[in-house]
Structure 1
Protein backbone atom coordinates (compact mmCIF):
# COMPACT_ATOMS: atom_id res chain seq x y z
CA UNK A 1 0.00 0.00 0.00
CA UNK A 2 1.26 3.44 -0.78
CA UNK A 3 1.39 6.40 1.53
CA UNK A 4 -0.99 8.28 -0.72
CA UNK A 5 0.82 11.57 -1.18
CA UNK A 6 3.93 10.73 -3.17
CA UNK A 7 3.16 7.14 -4.17
CA UNK A 8 5.86 5.64 -1.95
CA UNK A 9 5.53 3.35 1.05
CA UNK A 10 5.99 5.11 4.36
CA UNK A 11 8.53 3.88 6.84
CA UNK A 12 8.94 4.46 10.56
CA UNK A 13 12.29 4.74 12.30
CA UNK A 14 12.60 1.79 14.75
CA UNK A 15 13.85 4.17 17.48
CA UNK A 16 10.75 6.33 17.04
CA UNK A 17 8.56 3.23 17.23
CA UNK A 18 10.07 2.39 20.63
CA UNK A 19 9.08 5.84 21.92
CA UNK A 20 5.55 5.95 20.55
CA UNK A 21 2.56 4.63 22.48
CA UNK A 22 -1.15 4.45 21.81
CA UNK A 23 -2.68 7.73 23.02
CA UNK A 24 -5.70 5.89 24.44
CA UNK A 25 -4.12 2.90 26.19
CA UNK A 26 -0.51 4.07 26.54
CA UNK A 27 0.37 0.60 25.24
CA UNK A 28 2.91 -0.42 22.59
CA UNK A 29 2.36 -0.08 18.87
CA UNK A 30 3.29 -2.47 16.06
CA UNK A 31 4.28 -1.34 12.57
CA UNK A 32 2.31 -2.61 9.57
CA UNK A 33 4.43 -1.75 6.51
CA UNK A 34 1.84 -3.01 4.02
CA UNK A 35 -0.75 -0.47 5.15
CA UNK A 36 1.63 2.17 6.54
CA UNK A 37 -0.11 2.05 9.91
CA UNK A 38 0.81 1.79 13.57
CA UNK A 39 -1.32 -0.88 15.23
CA UNK A 40 -2.59 -0.75 18.81
CA UNK A 41 -3.75 -4.31 19.51
CA UNK A 42 -5.31 -3.40 22.88
CA UNK A 43 -7.33 -0.46 21.51
CA UNK A 44 -7.91 -2.32 18.20
CA UNK A 45 -6.98 0.83 16.27
CA UNK A 46 -4.66 1.47 13.33
CA UNK A 47 -3.05 4.92 13.23
CA UNK A 48 -2.00 6.11 9.76
CA UNK A 49 1.51 7.26 8.89
CA UNK A 50 1.57 10.01 6.27
CA UNK A 51 4.82 11.25 4.74
CA UNK A 52 6.65 9.39 7.49
CA UNK A 53 4.71 11.20 10.23
CA UNK A 54 2.53 9.13 12.59
CA UNK A 55 -0.95 10.62 12.94
CA UNK A 56 -1.66 9.73 16.55
CA UNK A 57 -5.20 11.08 16.75
CA UNK A 58 -7.93 8.59 17.68
CA UNK A 59 -10.28 10.46 15.33
CA UNK A 60 -7.91 9.63 12.42
CA UNK A 61 -7.43 5.98 13.41
CA UNK A 62 -9.10 3.07 11.67
CA UNK A 63 -10.98 0.58 13.86
CA UNK A 64 -9.77 -3.00 13.56
CA UNK A 65 -12.36 -5.77 13.43
CA UNK A 66 -12.02 -8.71 15.78
CA UNK A 67 -11.70 -11.11 12.84
CA UNK A 68 -8.60 -9.40 11.40
CA UNK A 69 -6.19 -12.16 12.38
CA UNK A 70 -4.60 -10.28 15.27
CA UNK A 71 -4.29 -12.22 18.48
CA UNK A 72 -6.61 -11.03 21.24
CA UNK A 73 -5.03 -8.55 23.63
CA UNK A 74 -3.45 -9.96 26.77
CA UNK A 75 -4.86 -8.47 29.90
CA UNK A 76 -2.70 -8.03 32.99
CA UNK A 77 -3.22 -9.99 36.16
CA UNK A 78 -2.13 -13.20 37.80
CA UNK A 79 -1.50 -16.17 35.57
Structure 2
Protein backbone atom coordinates (compact mmCIF):
# COMPACT_ATOMS: atom_id res chain seq x y z
CA UNK A 1 0.00 0.00 0.00
CA UNK A 2 1.22 3.46 -0.87
CA UNK A 3 1.50 6.34 1.58
CA UNK A 4 -0.87 9.26 1.18
CA UNK A 5 0.80 11.98 -0.96
CA UNK A 6 -0.44 14.68 1.45
CA UNK A 7 1.29 12.89 4.33
CA UNK A 8 4.52 12.68 2.33
CA UNK A 9 4.42 16.46 1.79
CA UNK A 10 4.47 17.19 5.53
CA UNK A 11 6.82 14.48 6.77
CA UNK A 12 10.35 15.62 7.53
CA UNK A 13 13.40 13.94 8.98
CA UNK A 14 13.42 14.33 12.77
CA UNK A 15 17.20 14.76 12.71
CA UNK A 16 17.79 17.50 10.13
CA UNK A 17 14.16 18.52 9.44
CA UNK A 18 14.70 18.12 5.70
CA UNK A 19 12.57 16.29 3.12
CA UNK A 20 12.52 12.52 2.78
CA UNK A 21 12.40 10.27 -0.27
CA UNK A 22 9.72 7.57 -0.25
CA UNK A 23 10.82 4.24 -1.69
CA UNK A 24 7.57 2.32 -2.06
CA UNK A 25 9.24 -0.90 -3.24
CA UNK A 26 11.43 -1.01 -0.10
CA UNK A 27 8.78 0.46 2.22
CA UNK A 28 11.10 3.09 3.72
CA UNK A 29 11.54 6.85 3.90
CA UNK A 30 15.13 7.80 3.06
CA UNK A 31 17.14 10.86 4.03
CA UNK A 32 19.88 10.93 1.36
CA UNK A 33 21.76 13.73 3.15
CA UNK A 34 22.33 11.66 6.29
CA UNK A 35 22.22 8.30 4.44
CA UNK A 36 19.58 6.84 6.74
CA UNK A 37 16.16 5.25 6.29
CA UNK A 38 13.08 5.17 8.47
CA UNK A 39 10.93 2.04 8.26
CA UNK A 40 7.24 1.98 7.42
CA UNK A 41 5.46 -0.66 9.47
CA UNK A 42 1.79 -1.49 8.87
CA UNK A 43 1.53 1.63 6.66
CA UNK A 44 2.77 3.86 9.51
CA UNK A 45 6.10 5.70 9.15
CA UNK A 46 8.27 5.08 12.22
CA UNK A 47 9.93 8.48 12.55
CA UNK A 48 12.01 7.76 15.64
CA UNK A 49 15.70 8.64 15.45
CA UNK A 50 16.60 5.39 17.22
CA UNK A 51 14.76 3.36 14.54
CA UNK A 52 16.68 4.86 11.59
CA UNK A 53 19.07 2.51 9.81
CA UNK A 54 22.04 3.25 7.53
CA UNK A 55 20.97 3.50 3.89
CA UNK A 56 22.27 4.71 0.56
CA UNK A 57 20.14 5.34 -2.51
CA UNK A 58 22.61 3.16 -4.43
CA UNK A 59 21.44 0.13 -2.34
Between Structure 1 and Structure 2, the one with more strand by share is 2
Deviations 1:44-67 (A, max 9, x none): 1110011111000121111125xx
Provide TM-score, normalisation by structure 1. Answer: 0.67
Offset, 1:11:
2.1
Structure 1 vs Structure 2 CA RMSD: 1.6
Partner of residue 17, structure 1: 8
Counterpart Cα distance in 2 of 1:53 and 1:11: 11
In the superposition, the TM-score normalised over structure 2's length comes to: 0.87
Runs of 4+ in 1 over 4 A off after TM superposition: none
Secondary structure at the residue paired with 1:25? Answer: coil
Bigger radius of gyration, 1 or 2? Answer: 1
Equivalenced residue count is 59
Gaps of 5+ in 2: none
| Rounded Cα–Cα distance in structure 2 between residues aligned with 1:25 and 1:41 | 11
